[in-house]
Amino acid sequence: MAKGILIVVSAPAGCGKDTILEQALKADPNLYYSVSATSRAMRPGETDGVSYYFKTRDEFKRMIAEGELLEYTEYVGNYYGTPKKAVNDMLEAGKDVILKIEIEGAANVKKMFPGCTMVFILPPSFAELERRLHKRGTETDEVIKQRLETARKELQYAENYDYLITNAALEDAVDDFLAVVRAEKCRRENREGVVGDLLAE
């Protein structure tokens, strides 16, 4: 069986990456979402083992020491990392694996898996991003200002990515994401052995 493809997704906060991925996962049963480990506190509405594997800093350090993580980073004071085994097992089983990680981790994954697909989600405009962050109502004006500044910095890394998806309308962004996955699966590099198998018939 052909191996699955590895898809790395990054986006500044408020660009709607969680919703896009939720919808894409519902639409394409061959997609597998890699649940990360983190040392940050659980937020309301999150579930351990679904949103993240929530760990203490010591537990996280043990995972690093035991080589259990494919990559990890410290982001705004907390550890975040991708468990290695699940990703490898799923790729071997032919599943297409999504890593939703920040830019530094994404760059590290690209070094380890040069053939991975890198997707960056963009907001339609900064004005709209600001409006969405205010609408969420979970952050103060000061935090929103910081998030917008961080978003500007993060956007400079978009040039390291293969695909840029603008989330102006959710359904279109989901379609774009699914189209990227579909096209990438047809790449010759991702279809190893297919011609040989045909000729061996």
Distance CA 28, CA 79 (A): 30
The reply to whether 82 sits near ligand 5GP by the rule CB under 6 A is yes
x-or-dash string of contact with ligand 5GP, 12-51, rule CB under 6 A: ------------------------x---x-----------
The reply to whether 80 sits near ligand 5GP by the rule CB under 6 A is yes
Span from 53-61, 95-103, 124-132, 136-144 in contact with ligand 5GP (CB under 6 A): 95-103
Q: Collect all residues with Cβ–Cβ distance below 8 Å to 78 and sequence separation of at least 6.
A: 38, 39, 40
117 exposure class (CB count in 10 Å sphere: 0-12, 13-18, 19+) = buried
Among 95, 100, 163, 173, binds ligand 5GP (CB under 6 A): 100
Distance CA 4, CA 106 (A): 18
Chain-centre distance for alpha carbon 29? 17
- Binders of ligand 5GP among residues 105 to 144 (CB under 6 A) are 105
Which is nearer to ligand 5GP, 21 or 181 (by Cβ)? 21
DSSP state of 124: S
Instruction: State the residues that interact with ligand 5GP by CB under 6 A.
Output: 36, 40, 71, 73, 75, 80-82, 100-102, 105
